[in-house]
């Protein structure tokens, strides 16, 4: 019997022995050898179009301009201990605050999105003198005890207690805008001591677009209650939805926005809290002085990334490619009963599939079938798969992606639902 396993499978097996297993991360799908542009390649030489990229790959994997900038930075300045300024960190802060559409702004950088969410919570608490937060049940804001507590009213009991003073409201994507607004209005009025901040993604990264008028109304309610509105744009910011800030679609200016993921170009970890300068009220407090808060390499990565996004007008490109994807999917759906439609904005998209068919096939089978067709992605809820490529993806690559998805879905339909078999897919 042949007992040899492939290099990719061998690495996955080694990985499984030494990493704690956790939902969403293990088991690994393959061992990677290289990433480039819209593609990832495993150790067995299989290439996949990366329609997930953890939403970090706005400027494409292994962007050559970013790699050159990082190599130059390594020759120049590699670290900046706390209480020293350095050029890339300051220039990044200047560039980001310059994008803020509502007057003077300031920033703090962290190494991860979860930490940045917690810095934003602290700023809001200090500025308002209150401690309670409102967040949407079923949202996701990171894994810190503060950030994860925002996501669920009752996280798994085995994890113990989270921050107190958390009020969870019904979400627009599950219960509709009216229910969400009713809950928010009640919480703002009845929470003892008042509410410091309402924290939400302006467009949920499961790609449910909020109804028009929702965020302006939330803004109005927060203003009336003296509550800060914090938008978590960790996946949706930096041009992904077709505008630099996702909130620009919705007519509501937040008090703070949290950026992350793609900020480091997908190469290095960095996140940011960007807020009106009026939140600079507690110089005597440490709000998040992280070891790498002004790391010259992470900030060089972000400075280069944001400069590329602005220079190459990638937000507008994402908006244009969204229309292309919608048109192509409409064409495909006509001959494939599994494919329904597209939801989302820009290139933060999900392809909606027939829910019953998806459940029948099973999520794991669907993702395996997509991988076999050269597509790396995730499910988005129980009715969709993510279509979240880099903003630099070519039109030809979009066609390759949709052809691969069409093929995978049709094959699965043939296997699991004989009645839907034989639908031609182009
Ligand atoms: C909406 C949202 N907020 C926060 C986070 C946490 O970011 P990080 O994983 O960098 O801590 C994520 C990560 O997926 C996210 O999607």
pLDDT tens, position by position, 95-133: 999 999 999 999 999 999 999 999 999 999 999 999 999
165 shares a domain with 183: yes
193 shares a domain with 124: yes
**Predicted local confidence at residue 423, as pLDDT:** 44
**Predicted local confidence at residue 205, as pLDDT:** 85
Q: Say how many Å lie between the first and final Cα of the chain, rounded.
A: 39
Name the 3-class secondary structure at 33: strand
82 shares a domain with 17: no
Domain assignment present for residue 299? The answer is yes
Cβ(140) to ligand 1 under 6 A?
yes
Domain assignment present for residue 426? The answer is no
Domain assignment present for residue 1? The answer is no
In DSSP terms, 348 is beta-bridged to 345
162 shares a domain with 285: yes
Cβ(113) to ligand 1 under 6 A?
yes
Backbone angles phi and psi of 348, in degrees to 5: -100, 80
82 shares a domain with 106: yes
- Domain limit, last residue, from 255, 288, 311: 311
Cβ(346) to ligand 1 under 6 A?
no
217 shares a domain with 88: yes
Which pTM was predicted? 0.95
Domain assignment present for residue 108? The answer is yes
Cβ(279) to ligand 1 under 6 A?
no
Name the 3-class secondary structure at 110: strand
CA distance 408 to 402: 10
Nearest-CA residue for ligand 1 atom 4 is 141
Cβ(234) to ligand 1 under 6 A?
yes
44 shares a domain with 74: no
Mutate to test the pocket of ligand 1, among 234, 236, 344 (most ligand atoms within 8 A of CB): 234
**Cα 346 versus chain centre, distance:** 13
213 shares a domain with 90: yes
167 shares a domain with 202: yes
Ligand 1: centre distance to CA 48 (Å):
24
Q: Which residues of the chain are modeled with pLDDT < 70?
A: 1-2, 416-426
Atom of ligand 1 nearest to the CA of 204: 1
**Predicted local confidence at residue 251, as pLDDT:** 96
- Domain limit, last residue, from 285, 311, 337: 311
Q: What CATH number did the domain enclosing 78 receive?
A: 3.40.640.10
81 shares a domain with 44: no
Mutate to test the pocket of ligand 1, among 24, 119, 142, 380 (most ligand atoms within 8 A of CB): 142
399 shares a domain with 382: yes
Domain assignment present for residue 425? The answer is no
By residue range, what is the domain housing residue 178? 64-311
297 shares a domain with 189: yes
**Predicted local confidence at residue 425, as pLDDT:** 33
- Domain limit, last residue, from 311, 345, 379: 311
Cβ(236) to ligand 1 under 6 A?
no
What is the tally of structural domains in the chain? 2
């Amino acid at each position: 019997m042949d007992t040899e396993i492939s290099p990719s499978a061998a690495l996955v097996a080694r990985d499984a022995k030494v990493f704690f297993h956790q939902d969403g991360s293990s088991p690994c799908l393959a061992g990677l050898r290289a990433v480039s542009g819209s593609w990832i390649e495993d150790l067995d030489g299989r290439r996949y179009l990366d329609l997930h990229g953890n939403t970090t790959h706005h400027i494409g994997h292994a962007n050559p301009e970013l790699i050159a900038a990082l190599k130059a930075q390594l020759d120049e300045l590699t670290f900046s201990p706390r209480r020293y300024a350095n050029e890339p960190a300051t220039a990044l802060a200047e560039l980001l605050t310059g994008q803020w559409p509502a007057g003077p702004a300031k920033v703090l950088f962290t190494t991860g999105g979860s930490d940045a969410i917690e810095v934003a919570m602290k700023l809001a608490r200090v500025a308002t003198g209150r401690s309670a937060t409102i967040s949407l049940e079923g949202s996701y804001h990171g894994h810190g005890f503060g950030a994860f507590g925002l996501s669920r009213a009752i996280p798994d009991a085995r994890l113990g207690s989270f921050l107190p003073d958390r009020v969870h409201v019904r979400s627009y994507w599950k219960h509709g805008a009216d229910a969400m607004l009713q809950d928010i209005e009640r919480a703002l009025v009845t929470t003892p001591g008042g509410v410091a901040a309402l924290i939400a993604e302006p467009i949920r990264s499961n790609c449910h677009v909020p109804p028009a008028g929702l965020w302006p109304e939330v803004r109005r309610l927060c203003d009336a209650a003296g509550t800060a509105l914090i938008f978590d744009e960790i996946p949706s910011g930096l041009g992904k939805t077709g505008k630099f800030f996702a909130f620009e679609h919705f007519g509501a200016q937040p008090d703070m926005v949290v950026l992350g993921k793609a900020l480091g170009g997908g190469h290095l970890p960095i996140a940011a809290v960007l807020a009106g300068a009026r939140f600079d009220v507690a110089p005597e407090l440490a709000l998040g002085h992280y070891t790498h808060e002004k790391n010259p390499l992470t900030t060089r990565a972000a400075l280069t990334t944001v400069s590329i996004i602005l220079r190459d007008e990638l937000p507008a490109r994402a908006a244009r490619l969204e229309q292309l994807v919608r048109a192509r999917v409409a064409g495909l759906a006509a001959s494939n009963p599994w494919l329904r439609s597209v939801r989302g904005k820009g290139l933060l998209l999900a392809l909606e599939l027939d829910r019953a068919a998806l459940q029948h096939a099973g999520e794991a089978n669907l993702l395996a079938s997509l991988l076999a067709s050269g597509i790396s992605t995730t499910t988005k809820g129980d009715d969709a798969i993510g279509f979240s490529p880099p903003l630099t993806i070519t039109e030809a690559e979009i066609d390759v992606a949709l052809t691969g998805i069409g093929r995978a879905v049709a094959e699965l339909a043939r296997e699991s639902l004989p009645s839907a078999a034989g639908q031609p897919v182009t």
